[in-house]
Amino acid sequence: MSYGIIRTNQTLLFFACCFTFIASGLLGVLPAASLVVLAQNTHTDTSTAGLIFTVSSLGTIVAVVASNALVKRLGSKAVVMGGLAGLIASSIMIPLAQQFNVWLAAEMLQGISIGLINIGVIMILTLNFGDRLGEKLNMLYGSVGMGSLLAPIFLSYVLSFTGSALAAFIVTALVGLLCLSTFYVLRFQTRAVRRNVSEEVYVAQPSLMPDRTGPAFKQPLLWLIALQVCLYVGAEAGFSNWVITAISKEANISIRMTTPAATLFWIGITVGRMVVARLMKRGHLTNAQLLYISMLGGAACGVLLIACMQAPIICFVASFGVGLFLGPIFPTLQVIATRRFDRVPALVSSVIMVSSGFAGMTIPLSMGMLIPQIGAREVMMIPALLCLLVAFPYYLANRKEQKIVAYRQQQTEQPIYELPTIQLPIVEGVA
């Protein structure tokens, strides 16, 4: 295979996107899994250290707001490479920070980097794998889970041998450097191709929504999608960020012994997404059936973990169950959103990322502030409730979409004899 073919190989491009998301998953989990160690390095209380989740999510929102202009001006490739450069820098800064302000600055850079990576990679997949977007998104988000489940394993071994979290973050930086080098070599479509006006007249428009940002913003479906994503990310971020600390406090065991809970959670996330992708490809599950089962199952496993928090083994099994059921929710919601707003994919990605950042900015911080007030067991009820509440805006969005489809069918299928007629006097006179 020649060098030119390698540079344009779509399989290599997809693997580069997956490894980029693996690095993003590693850096997304490591600060939460090593929260106690990093707080000790900066001489910060655990409740105050929860502020890093807010700062990181704020950085993600900042990146999303700027990403649309950056993608239009520089292209999605440059955006992803910039995000990878920030990921490498923050991976080194976070474990070496000795002051809380430096730690917060590194977390802000981490949030900006992850936001740029998410927007850029989703745009790359949309532009280069449009006909297989659903399959690719499920596998891509499975890669995030793979990186997230590897993070606690790395951390556990590193803490056992060195007593410091630095080596685990260095692994993340090395993966990010590999991905940065790969994207530099590859050549692919980085900007959307503009259509001529004559082409737009004759091309079929299957989308239910407008093709401009302003009218799309006025659609209730867009905000219902944002609410669904916000509730889901609140459940996932709240559970994954605090499950280790909650089990450690309630079962009165060390952080090192509770890290399998996070590992099993991300194993469940990855397994759930991969298995569901196969089931949906064979037509065994619809989107609605999958989402309702996932919401109910995730909430039930969350309640099981709360009820058996004194038994770590049962907590580990319940944590795996939460990940197994929660895993397919986010990629399925994004596929549905992309299908509904297929003419404004950048807007959909931005709204989803802002909603995700808002949930990640508020829910974990709120849980950390509530732990000293009501206890870790009671606080872990919040993710279970949020998982269950996703069903409400999803049901409303389906009802709204059905009404739009029914209205358009009624307009297009109106019989000719029901159309208004115009009486012409000249015709009557001739008759």
pLDDT (tens digit per residue) in 299-313: 999 999 998 888 888
- Beta-carbon contacts of residue 218 (< 8 Å; ≥ 6 apart): none
Q: Mean pLDDT across the stretch 153-169? A: 80
Indicate whether 373 pLDDT > 90. Answer: no
Sign of the four-CA dihedral 306, 294, 23, 106:
negative
Q: Do residues 250 and 377 make contact, with C-beta atoms less than 8 angstroms apart?
A: yes
Give CA angle at 189 (184, 192), nearest 5°.
135
- Note the pLDDT of residue 205: 41
Average pLDDT for the chain: 79
For helices 287-307 and 312-326, the axis angle rounded to 10 degrees is 160
Q: Do residues 184 and 174 make contact, with C-beta atoms less than 8 angstroms apart?
A: no
Residue labelled with tokens 């006097």? 425
What is the torsion angle, in degrees rounded to the nearest 10, for the CA atoms of residue 351, residue 61, residue 142 and residue 303? -90
Share above pLDDT 70 across residues of the chain, in percent, rounded to a whole number: 82
Instruction: Determine which helix (DSSP H) or strand (DSSP E) holds 370, and give its type and residue range.
Output: helix 345-374
C-alpha distance from residue 17 to each of 76, 89, 144, 290 (Å)? 12, 19, 10, 26
How far is the C-alpha of 128 from the C-alpha of 135, rounded, in Å? 13
Q: Mean pLDDT across the stretch 53-68? A: 80
How far is the C-alpha of 150 from the C-alpha of 235, rounded, in Å? 21
C-alpha distance from residue 8 to each of 135, 137, 179, 431 (Å)? 21, 20, 16, 70
Q: 253: how many CB neighbours lie within 10 A of its CB?
A: 12
What's the pLDDT tens digit per position in 16-38?
998 998 888 888 878 877 877 88
Q: Do residues 276 and 291 make contact, with C-beta atoms less than 8 angstroms apart?
A: no
Q: Helices in 211-254 by DSSP H: which ranges?
A: 213-217, 220-251
What's the pLDDT tens digit per position in 39-51?
888 888 776 777 8
What's the pLDDT tens digit per position in 290-347?
888 889 999 999 999 998 888 888 989 999 999 899 888 888 888 788 777 766 666 7
Q: Do residues 284 and 337 make contact, with C-beta atoms less than 8 angstroms apart?
A: no
- CB hemisphere CA count around 4 (13 angstroms): 0
Confidence of residue 87 (pLDDT cuts 50, 70, 90): very high
How far is the C-alpha of 39 from the C-alpha of 191, rounded, in Å? 42
Amino acid at 306: I
Confidence of residue 410 (pLDDT cuts 50, 70, 90): low
How far is the C-alpha of 378 from the C-alpha of 120, rounded, in Å? 38
114-123, 253-262, 418-427: segment of lowest average pLDDT: 418-427
How far is the C-alpha of 14 from the C-alpha of 44, rounded, in Å? 41
Q: Do residues 121 and 151 make contact, with C-beta atoms less than 8 angstroms apart?
A: no
Q: 86: how many CB neighbours lie within 10 A of its CB?
A: 23
Q: What is the pTM of this model?
A: 0.68
